[in-house]
Structure 1
Amino acid sequence: MSREPEEISLRLPHIELAAQVYGPANGAPVIALHGWLDNAATFARLAPKLQGLRIVAVDFAGHGHSAHRPAGAGYALWDYVHDVLLVAEQLDWPRFSLLGHSMGAIVSVLLAATFPERVQRLALIDGLVPPTIEADGAVATLAEALRGRLALSGKRKPVYPSLERAAQVRQRGVGHVSFEAACLLAQRGLMPVAEGLTWRTDSRLTLTTPMRLTMAHVQAFVMALRCPTQLVLAEQGLLAPREHLTELLAQTAITVHRLPGGHHLHLDDEQGAQLVADCFKAFLSAP
């Protein structure tokens, strides 16, 4: 399989999304979903190693080369679920598997739980459920989110003199990444401006989430999963310290693979990408 993906546009009724496509047209259908503030390039090392699959790696709305949501709209997780369902409709895929990293894994779980008849298999990389908050914290969370939204117009995106400088900054972002991985994400995530380069990402994505699910909510979604599911947990990833995760997984039939590496182990280097591919290739290829 060529390492160079095909670039496509997906014109949904309400927004246009960009995607990168890997693999043969007759391969098992897989929609790949990236993490928060990343883009489809997160699968640049992994997708070519999953030979025989038809992988459509989508830039979520507001990320990468996809359009931003209109003024006044937000970026709730369930809006992404809706987008992915419409992507599947445009691809004419009545059933498909999902490959998700971080936020993309969370969106995949929500979709697979609510539309079990559509999702064949679920392959998750260092992501399962969103951060939760209980009812007594909801008021303060909403207040913080709305204050951030009111102040957003006065903020400006950072500008970098070079892709390499932007990649160095991205290395220190959420989920530390290798310099090579940061460069891959930056190549797709940057755009030129008069003073240099800045991120294409919608600034609204950096705002606090107005309303979060409770632990009871996320448990209900995970327990509603009906498709075969495998989860790669990175030993130095973002899920490792979350104590409730072990208890939640113990109640499910999810197969867990614990691998060395950080949150972006599938992108940081070729070795990590191969380890993740070894977990998922036969799984995603199965009928």
Structure 2
Amino acid sequence: MPAEQLRLDLGHLTLAAQAWGNPELPPILLLHGWLDNSATFVHVAPQLAAAGYYVVALDLPGHGLSDHRAVGCGYWLWDYVSDVLLAADRLGFTQFTLAGHSMGGIIGVLLSASLPERVQRLLLIDGLLPYTAEADEAPQKLADFLRAQEALGGKRKPVYPERELAVKARMQGVGSITYEAAEHLCERGLEAVEGGFTWRSDARLTLPSPLRLSRAHALAFVQRIEAPTLLLLAEQGMLLTPLKQQLETVLAGTHIEHHNLPGGHHLHLDSAEGGQLVVEQMLKFLAKNESLP
């Protein structure tokens, strides 16, 4: 099922997006992870659409084919939440199912907890809590950001003389991925420049956060979620392996349904088989909760 290419004018910037299926069907909005783009759902989105949903995957600001933020602006989680809400408004999604991978899942948690009347169901792929820091760490976090921001002006993006070299470099990024997965991300993540290819993504995305939520802040959002929520954990991902004990504590007392699936952090993208496993769990969950408002 080929995707329709969309452009969503949010006023302060324009987002690129891909859509599958009939706009008259129940909507699902997909959010990708950090330094990825909407191509991360190449195995997932068409199957969800074939099952009877209108599926839209965004390129978040600074990623893929979307605009970069204006000079002087940053890429903070709460700004992404606002952008996603504006995108939903432009699409006419009064209520919708929200699905996110990694950072996209974190954005989904913040939006769902803040405006529960908008998000009917929440589907998370190896993403739940942002990185946190406590009050006594705040001065150092801000110092790290300021120094990195000053140094960024002297850095240049790498230029790869051949596209294949860029694909291989992307394989070694956050949550190492397969060659096939890297190829998909590079379709929207690369641009041709003099001497070869470089990344389209905004270099400011690599800056550390100047201020992080505390653990108490992050947990408050998780505990506030009202929508039926499914969390799919990769057995070799970024949540289950390093944070198993903490994760059990976070999920205790919530209504979040969670399942472990084989694969790494990009289990939904690394192979068609991994995507199929993710879709099967999502559709089973959606069917179980389809009668809910």
Matched residues in 2 for 1:146 and 1:112: separation? 31
Q: Aligned to 2:235, what secondary structure does the other structure show?
A: strand
Matched residues in 2 for 1:222 and 1:163: separation? 40
TM-score by length of 1: 0.98
Aligned 8 A contact 1:12 1:86 in 2: yes
Tell me by how many angstroms 1:163 deviates: 2.1
Corresponding position of 1:224: 224
Q: Deviation digits for residues 228-247 of structure 1, max 9, x if unmatched? A: 00000000000021131110
1:123-138 map, 5 Å: 123-138=123-138
1:62-81 map, 5 Å: 62-81=62-81
Equivalent residue pairs, number: 285
What is the letter of the counterpart of residue 82 of structure 1? S
Q: Deviation digits for residues 204-239 of structure 1, max 9, x if unmatched? A: 000001101111001100000000000000000000
Corresponding position of 1:274: 276
What is the letter of the counterpart of residue 10 of structure 1? L
**After alignment, is 275-284 or 204-213 more displaced?**
275-284
Q: Aligned to 1:154, what secondary structure does the other structure show?
A: coil
Matched residues in 1 for 2:57 and 2:63: separation? 12
**After alignment, is 193-202 or 50-59 more displaced?**
50-59
Matched residues in 1 for 2:92 and 2:21: separation? 17
CA RMSD of superposed structures (Å)? 0.9
Tell me by how many angstroms 1:161 deviates: 1.7
**After alignment, is 88-97 or 229-238 more displaced?**
88-97
Matched residues in 2 for 1:88 and 1:283: separation? 22
Aligned 8 A contact 1:32 1:55 in 2: yes
What is the letter of the counterpart of residue 37 of structure 1? L
Aligned 8 A contact 2:163 2:196 in 1: no
Corresponding position of 1:173: 173
1:19-34 map, 5 Å: 19-34=17-32
Corresponding position of 1:36: 34
Q: Aligned to 2:153, what secondary structure does the other structure show?
A: helix
**After alignment, is 211-220 or 274-283 more displaced?**
274-283
Aligned 8 A contact 1:163 1:187 in 2: no
Matched residues in 1 for 2:285 and 2:230: separation? 8
Aligned 8 A contact 1:163 1:183 in 2: no
User: Which of 257, 263, 266 in structure 2 is aligned with 1:264?
Assistant: 266
Aligned 8 A contact 1:232 1:256 in 2: yes
What is the letter of the counterpart of residue 103 of structure 2? M
Tell me by how many angstroms 1:136 deviates: 1.2
TM-score by length of 2: 0.96
Tell me by how many angstroms 1:251 deviates: 2.1
Instruction: Name stretches of at least 5 consecutive residues in structure 1 with no aligned partner.
Output: none
Tell me by how many angstroms 1:190 deviates: 0.2
Matched residues in 1 for 2:162 and 2:182: separation? 13
Q: Deviation digits for residues 118-162 of structure 1, max 9, x if unmatched? A: 000000000001011111111111100011111111000011122
Tell me by how many angstroms 1:257 deviates: 1.1
Tell me by how many angstroms 1:275 deviates: 0.4
1:212 correspondence with 2:206: no
Instruction: Name stretches of at least 5 consecutive residues in structure 2 with no aligned partner.
Output: none
1:247 correspondence with 2:245: no
Tell me by how many angstroms 1:173 deviates: 0.7
What is the letter of the counterpart of residue 77 of structure 1? L
What is the letter of the counterpart of residue 139 of structure 1? P
Percent sequence identity over aligned pairs = 54
What is the letter of the counterpart of residue 98 of structure 1? L
**After alignment, is 244-253 or 10-19 more displaced?**
244-253
Aligned 8 A contact 1:31 1:56 in 2: yes
Matched residues in 1 for 2:285 and 2:141: separation? 39
Matched residues in 1 for 2:20 and 2:283: separation? 14
Matched residues in 2 for 1:195 and 1:133: separation? 41
Corresponding position of 1:148: 148
Corresponding position of 1:102: 102
Aligned 8 A contact 1:29 1:96 in 2: yes
Matched residues in 1 for 2:194 and 2:286: separation? 44
Corresponding position of 1:16: 14
Corresponding position of 2:234: 234
